[in-house]
Amino acid sequence: MVRFKNRYVLCEVLSDDPRCRQCIEERAVGLAVRDAIGRVHGDYGLACCSISFTVKYLNAYTGTVLLRCRKDSYRLLCSALPFVRHLESRNQRYPCALNTLHVGGTIRTCQKFLIQYNRRQLLMLLQNCTNEEERQCIQKSLLSCSLTEEQSQSGDEEDDDGTE
């Protein structure tokens, strides 16, 4: 059996309208990206990208979107992302843009990049603080930003019932 390799494209939704981020849905992002691919690359590009294209993760609060596509067609996807100009949700159009942050081979590499990216953004905010209260709040956010591995509970624990 052959394993199909995928690429994961990490994007952020940029918008002047704060209501846009709250109304984002996975379906709306997927339709907007497919529409942009169809406009830029035609039927061929749309067919190539649609084979395994999905929106794997969407965080409406931060505007972070993780898209998955086939390894063969990720360049078509990345070249069409700047042409997404609006998202339609609940019969309303919200003007926005998709900014590509990272392209990775696994979701884990995208997650690691996102943690480092958020950490850099928080450091920039820390440098622009005006009072001590803001500074302490951002420092607390920086310290809580880490990636830890959880050990599997099955098999690692030994029975403590007193018998040997």
Distance CA 135, CA 129 (A): 6
In residues, how long is the chain?
164
Domain limits, the chain:
1-105, 107-149
Mean pLDDT of 58-81: 92
**DSSP per-residue string spanning 38-69:** HHHHHHHHHHHHHSS-EEEEEETTTTEEEEEE
Please count the other Cβ atoms lying within 10 Å of the Cβ belonging to residue 116. Answer: 12
**Per residue in 126-146, pLDDT tens?**
788 888 887 888 777 767 765
Residue 151 pLDDT grade (very low, low, confident, very high; cuts 50, 70, 90): very low
Q: Are 84 and 28 in contact (CB under 8 A)?
A: no
- The predicted pLDDT at position 161 comes to 46
Q: Is the pTM of this model over 0.85?
A: no
**Burial, 15: exposed, middle or buried (Cβ in 10 Å; 0-12, 13-18, 19+)?**
middle
Indicate whether 53 pLDDT > 50. Answer: yes
Which carries the bigger pLDDT value, residue 23 or residue 158? 23
Select 1-105's CATH number: 3.40.30.10, 3.30.70.3250, 1.10.1740.10, 3.30.565.10: 3.30.70.3250
